[in-house]
Each structure stands twice: as C-alpha cells, then as structure tokens.
Amino acid sequence: PDNIHQPEDPRYQEVLKQYFGYSKFRPFQWKIINSILNDKRDNCVIMATGYGKSLTFQFASVYTKRVSVIISPLISLMQDQVHNLKASNIEACFLGSAQDNMRDVKDAMFQGKYRLVYVTPEYASTALDDFKKLDYKIGLDLIAIDEAHCVSQWGHDFRASYRQLGVLKSTFPKVPVLAVTATATVEVRNDICRSLKLINPNMTCTGFDRPNLFLSVSPKSGDIANDLKMEMKKNGNKFSFDGPTIIYCPTKKATEEVVGALNGMSIACLPYHASLSLSARKKAHNSFLNDQIQVVVATVAFGMGIDKPDVRKVIHYGAPKDIESYYQEIGRAGRDGMPSECTAIFSKSDFNTSRHFISEIKSEKFREHKLKMLAKMGQYLSTTSCRRRILLSYFESGNLAEIGGTENCCDCCRLNLTKLKHGLPTLGSEDGPLDYTREAVDLFKAIQYTGSRFGLGIPCQVLMGSYSKKIQQFQASKVFGSGKYRSLKFWTALGRSLVYEGYLREKTLQSGYGCTVEMTPKAESWYNKVKQGKSGDCPLLLTPSG
Ligand code: ADP
C-alpha cells in the first residue's frame, strides 16, 4: 500500500493531535502502532535516536483507553516521562520501590485510571500477578521493553535483570510485546527476539545514520585547556562552546580535571559521576536541562534518558570504550535534527585501561567479542577514510558506498576533499578526470614490496627514496626512489583517494590503534590487467573532487 506510514481512519490522527500535539505520524511510527493495535503482533524495533520511539509504546492505550506496561531501566527517566505525560493529560504511573503510597497507586491502577504503567525490569518479573489482574480488569494492550539491547550480553550495556523478561511473553502469550532500542547489531537483535520469546515479530530498523552529526577525532596534547579550546569559539578573551555540550571522560578523576580546566576559563559547568550524591547529580542534570550551565562533564553514568534535544556537542575526552557505547553516547547530540558535532580527543595510551579490563574476562568467546568491539573503535579513531562508514559498518552490512564523502560528514572526508582539491593541484581539475595508471602502479608496487605491513606513510616514503631510518631496510630495492617524479604530498593524496575509490583498504592493527594499508581484490584484478598489457582498456581515472 501507498501509505503504510499514515492511517486511513482519521480517528487515529485525532488522538495523535489531541494528546500528543502532532499532526502526522513520523515514518515507521504508524506501521509499528498499527501492528500492535490491529494485528496484535510482537515487534522488535531498532530506531535511531530522534525518530520518535516513545510514541510507539505510548499511543496504543491512549487510543483504546485500556492500559500498557512499559519496562525501562532508569527510574529517573520513567519519573520524567510520567511527569510529562501527565502534563499532556495522559494518566500514567510508576511502580517500584522508589514509589511511595504504592497502595493508592495500585488501587487507582486496578480501577483503570492509568493508560501507562512504568516499571523497572526487576519489579516486572515479580509483579506478574498484578499484571494478570490488570489484564483481567482493564485489558493489557501492550508490554513494551525500552532499551531492549540491555537483554544481550553481546551488547555494550548488558543488565542481568533484563534476562528474566522472557517470562512476560510466556505468561501473556496473547499480549503484544514491543522491544525497542536505538542500538543493536544483528547478533543483539537476534538475542532480543530469542530472549524475550517474541513470536514471529514484526521487525523495524530505521537505519543508523544520523546525518546531522559531524564526526571528528583529534589527539590529546597533554594540556586539557588547550585541547578543549580547539572545540570552542573565542569572543574577545573569552572562550565558550557553541551550545549545550556534554564532555565524557573515562574516569571520575578525569571529570574533575576537565572541570578544573573549564573553571580556569570561567565556563559554567558541573561534573556528573556515580560517586556524587543524588542531589548533586540531580542539580547537574537540571541545570543542564534548563541551560543554567553550558557543559556537563560526566562519566558514562550520565547517559540513558537525557532528553535534551539541543545538545550541540558531545566530546569524549579520552578514548571511548567501544564502538556501540560510542554510538549510543554521541546519540545524545542533535536530537532536534540540527547540525551538531561529536569529537573524540584521545591518546593511544587511553586504550590500556580498556584492554586491561578485557584481558580479565574469563570466557574466551566473550573476550574476543569485546576485543573486536575495541578494535573497531581503534579503527574509527585512526582511519584516514570516512569515519561514518566505519561507525555504520559495525551495525549495518548493507551497501555503505553512498555514505560520506561530503563536507558535513566527518573530519576525514572534509580533509580528503581539500587534499584532493589542493594536494593534486595540476591534475586536470576543470578538464575532468585524469589517468593515474602509472602512479597507481608505482604505489601498489611499493605497498606490495613493503609487505602490506604499514600505513600509507612508509610506502610513500619508499617511493620518495627518503633516508629516514624507518625505511633503511628498503633501500636496496628498485622501488626505492622510483616515485621521485611526484611529491610526497602527491603520493599521500593519491593513496587517500585510492582508499576512497576502494582500491586500497585500511586494516586496524591487533593492538587496536594504527592501521596497515593493503590492496583490495578490486586493485589486484586491475593490476593484473595492467600487467597483461591491458591498461589501455582500464585507465585508472580520478577526479580532484573525489
Ligand atoms: P527517540 O527516543 O527515538 O530519540 P523521542 O520519542 O524522544 O525519540 O522523540 C524525539 C523527538 O521527536 C521528540 O522531541 C518528540 O516530541 C518528537 N516527535 C515524536 N513523534 C513525533 C511526530 N509524530 N511528529 C512530530 N514530532 C514528533
């Protein structure tokens, strides 16, 4: 059908407008809600941040005037949601140890007062009798499990209490279950469906790209204030960020150091980590939400459930833990869809702590999985090609060729565009593409000769016949110095474009940092044709604009 994204029956839109204030469903929202309300199906939903997950579990019971149970890992987040729902005239409550006057709340619940009942996963598995009674008296439309990736050990945020939630489907086989999250690899998705015992679930995956986030990486200089100044704008003598900013640090100690550096620049900020009192954390959270401070400097304890739509910058001061956590953490930037920036400032030694923790994991399979996640992070940080592609390739197996290559993608794409423009200056810019067959052959020779063991730098220096110590071992070869007819800058720029065009591939080192460059099958087959004297049929053409 043409319009799987909007209902035909106007009554749905009326409820949408009246209670939620929206005039239309966002893409995918109606498809999911329809499958819950009308087909009574289980749903597994992977929806990138900002698409509007909440509506997918809030709508059904508001429409039917029955009740839905929502399971979510964070009490403070649930309390916020209940508060906001009440403000839009939707009755909701929270059940759990943090709720006083439980008896009154429950009485009202069994009388059908609430459309939405929020509970923690711990509470959910002990409250089956309450839910049975609720189903019998009012009618359960839906059991929703938010942040469903917590079910999976293969995710970055496993919670044991989520493992018990399969009991919900066994107890209520007829009630649709909705599992929803912003991050899940294929492994995690499978785990979610299996562990929650979903029956023939309707799968929705919006894709993971967040085009409004600009990605970049820079090295630590040893001076925190200096590093941060690079991310700020200067007005007279005063530095400030462009808008609300979250700075993530790997340790509590690091948060205090960064707060110190920012205080030195008179920037209003507060720390947020698990050792602070609840009231100090609340104060940090609220001052940030209300724009009384521009910056929160936090450990990952500050995370799930920060519902501030206009966060303009997320900085990681210190290497992020792994690629999934990183995706989740930068997800807090730009939920309003406006351009926002995500920067990781790191040094190689930042990985030591993570590697140490991982080395202590007992299960070999699990240890290897964690190492793989860490290596992907290393690849993201050290790449000279598109960062977005690396990030997305962790979650999606589809064709990512369309991704990247623009000014607004990431620092590498931006740099490569300028390099291509300025690094290859005389190479036929306005006159269309030029043939780089000879140069490509020389570069491939140098890469093969040095054994595909290095990044681009070494083969390029070999071509230039550089007398640097590192390449002394290659002096005897014919390749040494064979590229003097071009500049070092040229060779590096050519290498970058060949990575771009899929002739070369960068591989992260086992250590998780740094990478080697090697020829892809595309390059091998091209090179073979050239060796057979068929280069005339397949000139290697490059345009300066990439
Ligand atoms: P997510 O959890 O996927 O980031 P939220 O449920 O927090 O998404 O919604 C993201 C933003 O989109 C919120 O500001 C919300 O008000 C808005 N939103 C959700 N659905 C719609 C809609 N149908 N029309 C307009 N705005 C919407």
Q: How far does the centroid of ligand 1 lie from the alpha carbon of residue 384, in Å?
A: 35
pLDDT at 425: 40
pLDDT at 14: 96
Which of 6, 19, 22, 332 has most ligand 1 atoms within 8 Å of CB, for mutation?
22
C-beta of residue 446 within 8 angstroms of C-beta of residue 478: no
Q: Contacts by 479-482 with C-beta closer than 8 Å and gap 24+?
A: 479/442, 479/445, 479/446, 479/449, 482/442, 482/445, 482/446
Query: Which of these, 477, 474, 478, 481, lies nearest to 454 by C-alpha position?
Result: 474
Q: How far does the centroid of ligand 1 lie from the alpha carbon of residue 517, in Å?
A: 42
Which of 55, 85, 210 has most ligand 1 atoms within 8 Å of CB, for mutation?
55
CA distance 240 to 234: 7
pLDDT at 3: 62
Q: How far does the centroid of ligand 1 lie from the alpha carbon of residue 74, in Å?
A: 19
Q: Please, what is the angle between helix 323-330 and helix 387-395, to 10°?
A: 110
Residue type, 169: K
pLDDT at 426: 39
DSSP string, 159-176: -GGGGGGHHHHHH-TTS-
Q: How far does the centroid of ligand 1 lie from the alpha carbon of residue 338, in Å?
A: 14
Q: Is the pLDDT of residue 297 over 70?
A: yes
The answer, yes or no, to whether any atom of ligand 1 lies below 6 A from the CB of 308, is no
CA distance 337 to 166: 35
Q: How far does the centroid of ligand 1 lie from the alpha carbon of residue 56, in Å?
A: 10
- Alpha-carbon distances, residue 292 vs 188, 289, 305, 451 (angstroms): 38, 8, 19, 56
Lowest-confidence range among 55-59, 130-134, 376-380?
A: 376-380
CA distance 135 to 340: 44
Digit-coded pLDDT (tens) for 44-54: 999 988 788 99
**Can you tell me the mean pLDDT for 106-135?**
95
3-state secondary structure of 482: coil
| Of 533 and 149, more confident | 149
Mean of the per-residue pLDDT values of the chain: 87
Digit-coded pLDDT (tens) for 6-15: 898 999 999 9
Digit-coded pLDDT (tens) for 152-174: 877 777 888 999 999 999 999 99
The answer, yes or no, to whether any atom of ligand 1 lies below 6 A from the CB of 51, is yes
pLDDT at 489: 79
What is the position in ligand 1's atom list of the atom closest to the CA of 24? 23
Does ipTM come in above 0.85? yes
Q: Whose CA is nearest to atom 27 of ligand 1?
A: 52
Angle at 58 between CA 57 and CA 63, to 5 degrees: 115
Digit-coded pLDDT (tens) for 185-230: 888 899 999 999 999 999 998 888 899 999 999 888 889 998 999 8
